[in-house]
Amino acid sequence: MKLGYGNYITAHWLSSFTSVLTRNPRLFTKYDQLTRPQLIKRIEQLEHELNQQSPAVKDKSRRPFDISQYGQRRIALKVAYLGWNYCGFAHLKEKNIPTVEGEIFKALQKCSLITSPEECNYSRGGRTDKGVSGLGQVIALDVRSTQRKLIKEHGDDRDLPYINMINSFLPEDIRILAWAPVATTFNARFDCLSRTYKYFFKKEGQDIERMREAASYMIGSHDFRNFCLLDAARNLQHYTREIISFEINPVEQDFYEVKLKGTGFLWHQVRYIMSVLFLVGQRLEHPAIIQDLLNIDKIPARPDYPLASGIPLMLYDCEIQNIKWIYDISKNSQSSSVQPRLTAPVVTHSHFSQLWDSNAIKGLLYKECMKSVEQIPIVSNNETVSILDYMEQTNDGWSKILLGEGKYINTTKYRRLLERPLSETDAVKKEKYRLKQLKKSIEK
């Protein structure tokens, strides 16, 4: 039960009074003869006297921060994040939906660098979907500065320790890697020349050379509508995107990475590309299927095929010309009292190293569980066999459709992409959307 200030004083006085009586039994003779009403009245008198002697309680409430009293400047931030726990990068209007951008806004407001996301002229280099991570995401915004005026010349790199300030309020799976002074007209989306994605996958017997051949057909400018999710509400006028480079390289042990660079990407484009590459790698489709899907006259809409997992996908880099990234704030901070003992890159590396160690240990625990279960015998056709042998036997006649992240779909009979039903064309989707909006306006 919570006590008010007066009740708290009463309880405190009674406690002290009881302690005094315990140490001085003679005082009992005085108060022992009082009636209950008299005793209560005496306590109220003593409480009143104590209140008169008590100092006034100071108001410890914090005054609202007035950012208008400070100068502002426009900066760019390079952001790294593990997107597994978030519903995408972009901030959503709905409350209690975790996003990377939402966490960044909270951190910026807690360290009083902005008043609100709507008032900082914010822009982002790209959007990433639920579960997708980023290493080279770039955002731009106006923030509080030590300068008294709005800095128009973006060459001055002396200011607040932005990296450490923001990182101190971010969750462990989001970190600011660098900041850069930029012009007041800088826009993280429109000043981004190219974006590079990486997708990590396990080989699992796939033919890497066939996958590389298929990837080569995508280099250049093509209509990628059959490699994306169409959204009529966005009203895109075309689906032509340019792929600058496409590489598939080994990483370690049995793992590979796809490194894909382009000027821009459609919704789910990289994940749909990976889905088809997995089919080619498993020899379920020929590499030339890419050329067929890029031929809109031949295939006007996307065939019905699944979307690859988003967990292995990472926005690796956003290319921006003539930007001076600042990674070490210790030499640029004007206030010696806020200089860290370790430079920002060292702190960030140690942080991610700890996360890697933690997850590597978890991986060993998963593997230990697998090894233990593998020792359990299985009876099949009146014969005792190991789990691995049993799984190999039961896989006969099944096709495993890889989706990345260890996920897959089992099917008894694989149906080639060119034989599958097509989704609705862009024109049909837009017409349906137009009629739906017209119906809403009439009902209003």
pLDDT digits (tens, 9 = 90+) for 190-226: 999 999 999 999 999 999 999 999 999 999 999 999 9
d(CA 375, CA 330): 55
Position 19 in a domain: no
The whole-number pLDDT of residue 391 equals 77
Catalytic pick from 129, 159, 191, 317?
129
User: What is the percent of the chain where pLDDT is above 90?
Assistant: 62
- In tens, the pLDDT along 236-247 reads 999 999 999 999
Residue 147 and residue 215 in one domain? no
**Interacting residues of 255 by C-beta distance below 8 A, sequence separation 6+:** 200, 201, 202, 203
The whole-number pLDDT of residue 30 equals 65
Pairing of strands 220-223, 240-252: antiparallel
The whole-number pLDDT of residue 332 equals 45
Whether pLDDT at 283 is above 80: yes
The CATH number linked to 149 is 3.30.70.580
The whole-number pLDDT of residue 50 equals 74
- In tens, the pLDDT along 392-404 reads 777 766 788 999 9
The whole-number pLDDT of residue 185 equals 95
The CATH number linked to 211 is 3.30.70.660
Residue 166 and residue 201 in one domain? no
Where residue 231 falls (left for φ over 0; alpha for ψ -120 to 50; beta otherwise) is beta
- The radius of gyration of the chain's CA atoms, rounded to the nearest angstrom, is 32
Position 426 in a domain: no
Number of Cβ atoms within 10 Å of the Cβ of 317: 21
- In tens, the pLDDT along 370-384 reads 999 988 888 878 888
Which residues constitute the domain of residue 312?
193-319
Position 81 in a domain: yes
Position 346 in a domain: no
Whether pLDDT at 180 is above 90: yes
Burial class (CB in 10 A: 0-12, 13-18, 19+), 313: buried
DSSP 159: B
Position 352 in a domain: no
Position 58 in a domain: no
The last residue of one of the domains, among 143, 161, 181, is 181
Q: Does 426 qualify as catalytic in the annotation? A: no
- Number of domains making up the chain: 2
Q: Which amino acid is at 163?
A: I
The last residue of one of the domains, among 319, 353, 375, is 319
The whole-number pLDDT of residue 242 equals 97
**Interacting residues of 74 by C-beta distance below 8 A, sequence separation 6+:** 121, 140, 141, 142, 143, 151, 154, 181, 182, 183, 184, 186
Residue 173 three-state SS: coil
Residue 128 and residue 211 in one domain? no
At residue 123, what are phi and psi to the nearest 5 degrees?
Answer: -150, 155
- In tens, the pLDDT along 27-67 reads 555 666 778 787 788 788 877 777 776 555 555 566 667 77
User: What is the percent of the chain where pLDDT is above 70?
Assistant: 84
The whole-number pLDDT of residue 328 equals 73
d(CA 262, CA 314): 14
Q: How confident is the model at residue 129 (pLDDT cuts 50, 70, 90)?
A: very high
The mean pLDDT value of the chain amounts to 86
Say if CB 12 and CB 51 are below 8 A apart: no
d(CA 341, CA 332): 14
